[in-house]
Amino acid sequence: MRRRLVIIAHRGASAVAPEGTRAAIREAVLAGSDMIELDVQMTLDGRLVVFHDDRLERTTDGRGRLKDARYAEIARLDAGSWFHPRFSGERILLLSQAIRSIPQRMGINLELKRTPKRLALLDRVHARGRAEALLRRDHADVGAPFLEGEIDRVQMR
């Protein structure tokens, strides 16, 4: 039996658009990727956002740790200009916004970043749209520094 190669767009099409943004997701879809990998973190006020780094400086015009900022502050940041001026105005996405922009045919791999509130983060991810698709191992993966039992606990609810 021959296996089919699965093309996963890491942080969206991060080679041609700023990572984790609507533009990167759009480009991954246009390129025909099978799956999109995105990093998820929780803001100070408990909102789930797509963002890789602990700190805001590398990929936005913000400063400080993402976990110490409220979503209203993060939503105003420019997450595209660092990559190229034509992406000026790209924003950090809420997880719900990212999920809605990914076609149903595509898999989603969420990397849940380290957080002291990891069960709360898992619960919030599970409560979002396409929860079964996100958590079913045959369609997409939820990974990161979480114990397997914690993921199973969320799946069983």
Residues taking part in catalysis: 10, 52
Instruction: Please give the backbone phi and psi of residue 48, each rounded to the nearest 5 degrees, phi first.
Output: -90, 120
| CA–CA dist 129, 58 (Å, integer) | 29
* Residue 113, amino acid: K
Joined tokens for residue 42: 């929780």
Measuring CA to CA, how many Å separate 48 from each of 72, 81, 126? 12, 23, 11
Hey, CA dihedral for 61, 63, 66, 68, is it positive or negative? negative
| CA–CA dist 74, 92 (Å, integer) | 7
Joined tokens for residue 69: 């900022």
* Beta-carbon contacts of residue 109 (< 8 Å; ≥ 6 apart): 8, 35, 36, 37, 38, 140, 141, 142, 143
